[in-house]
Amino acid sequence: MRERAAGCGYRGGWQRGRPSWPRLHLTPGHAERGVTARDGASPISPTPTSTTPAAGSRVLSRPRLTATMLVLAAAVWALDQATKQWALGRFTPGEAEPFLGRLLQFTLVFNPGAAFSMGTAFTPVITVIMAAVGIGLLVASTRVGSRWWAMSAGFLLGGALGNLTDRLFRPPGFAHGHVVDFLMLPDFPVFNVADSFITTAAVCIVLAAIKDIPFGGRAADTTTEEGDHRG
């Protein structure tokens, strides 16, 4: 009887003609399962060994962030090109059509310059710059390490490719094409959807700099990702 009890972690016996209650000696495993000692003693709390990341620290892996960035860029490009085709078929150049009164109007113009009709005399130079930006962002997409930067870079890439498409394939010729603009605000240059996303991306990049969010992600996030893949 005693041998069997001892093997189970109990100690007990007969004292002065009456049985003494056996005491349970807890191991860390018992404490983890919430077992309480019979004599009311506090269970032994083992040192936590969990490696579960804190709430909010889990991030997407680099391949998924790259895919997110490229999907966003493709969506922005498609939206930009679709709205330009709609504007070409819907409006007459030079005529304004109110949408939200004078706050937002539609007017079709062809812009040989950069975003918001800047640099109209340097169309080929602007085309080269936009192409370089697009290529640079595509190369950098494999190193993006945060959701914020995946979104910002996706908006910027999609907007740049949208206007670059106009530069390359619209009249009057290759690399000299005029960008289709059709959105007009009071006392503001006419713009398009691509310009809107480029501006949004610029604001997001400034906020990332203020919040000290690195393009490649933080080291702790990278460690967490690698640990998740090994698990």
Q: Which residues are catalytic?
A: 181, 195
Contact indicator for 190, 107 with CB cutoff of 8 Å: yes
Sign, CA dihedral 168-173-174-176, equals negative
How would DSSP label each residue in 157-202? HHHHHHHHHHHHHSTT-TTTPPEEEEEE-TTS--B-HHHHHHHHHH
Evaluate whether 62 touches 140 at the Cβ level (below 8 Å). no
Report the half-sphere exposure of 133 (CA within 13 A, side-chain side): 19
Quote the CA–CA distance of 208 and 200 in Å, as a whole number: 12
Q: If you search the block for the tokens 């309480």, which residue do you land on?
A: 36
**Which 3 state secondary structure label does DSSP give 141?**
helix
Q: Per DSSP, what are the bridge partners of residue 19?
A: 14
